[in-house]
Structure formats: C-alpha cells, structure tokens
Amino acid sequence: MLKYEESLPLKLLKAREATMNFFRPVLLDISLTEQQWRIIRALAEHKELESKQLADLCCILSPSLTGIISRLEQQGYTQRRRSNEDQRRILISLTEKAETMFKRVTPLLEARYQEITEQYTQENLDLLYELLNKLTQIKPVSEGSKTE
C-alpha cells in the first residue's frame, strides 16, 4: 500500500485546497460559500436548471442542495418557477441581482485563474485538465466481476 501522504484521494484534496486558496478570499468578500458560488456559476452558464441537474453539475448531494438554494433565495440570488411544459418540474435560475454580482465578481476570479496559470503554466494546466477528465471517467471494478 502507498504511504498515506502519497494516496490519490489525499493528493486530490490537497490540490483542491491549494487551488481554493486563490478563490476563497473573493468568495468571502461577497459572503458566499464555495457551494453557493458553484450553483451561481452553473446557473450563469446554463440559465435555468432543475435541482437534480444542478446537483449533478455542482457535485452537491440533493438534500444539501435544497438548503443551499433556500439560502440563495433568501439572499435574493435565485428564484424558482414551474415549467410551462410540465407543472411538476421546478426550474431554478438566477435573479437580476445575482447576474449583476456575477458580472462584477467574474473579473476578480479570472485574475485568480491568471495567477494560477502564471505559477503553474498553461501547458501544465491543459495537461492537468486532460488527466482529471480521464480520471473522472474511470469506474471501479465490482468485487463480483473480478477475474483471477
């Protein structure tokens, strides 16, 4: 077995923390959690989503998403509406207040991305994105189907 410090999950967690250290100060200034920002960012790109779609995109469990969306609604950042095509579907979108905040904050976060790129290089980032995309595609082999 690998040494604890060399385990893949730990390396990924440390890399996440190192990366988030660039973005957390900006999010703290606007009083948003990382999860709230992920939701706002996803909705800014996709305009309107059902909660299941949003949970999947943002890597947030559905029960947690419900509370986060409620807090974003209380802050005036999100709104819900019933689908015109299917009244059972609830669609979530950003409010004008959220869109304005997003436009104001995006350049600050882009500057943080630039800092990362300057320290890590674009070539390394491109390779990292490629490798992480490949890593997200792997599936565990179930115990019952292992061949000896």
Rounded to an integer, what distance in angstroms lies between the CA atom of residue 137 and that of residue 81? Answer: 34
Would you say residue 4 lies in a domain? no
| Torsions phi, psi for 82 (to 5 deg) | -80, 145
Looking at the 3D structure of the chain, how many domains does it have? 1
Say what the pLDDT of residue 3 is: 86
Would you say residue 8 lies in a domain? no
Would you say residue 39 lies in a domain? yes
Say what the pLDDT of residue 141 is: 87
For 51, the token pair is 């909660």
For 77, the token pair is 């950042």
Would you say residue 47 lies in a domain? yes
Would you say residue 104 lies in a domain? yes
**Residue-level pLDDT, tens digit, the chain, 148 residues:** 878 888 999 999 999 999 999 999 999 999 999 999 999 999 999 999 999 999 999 999 999 999 999 999 999 999 999 988 888 889 999 999 999 999 999 999 999 999 999 999 999 999 999 999 999 999 998 765 555 4
User: What domain range is 119 assigned to?
Assistant: 20-135
| Torsions phi, psi for 129 (to 5 deg) | -60, -45
In this structure, are residues 42 and 58 in contact, taking their beta carbons and an 8 Å threshold?
yes
Say what the pLDDT of residue 145 is: 55
Q: 96: domain CATH number?
A: 1.10.10.10
**CA distances, 109 to each of 34, 52, 60, 63, 97 (Å):** 13, 27, 21, 28, 18
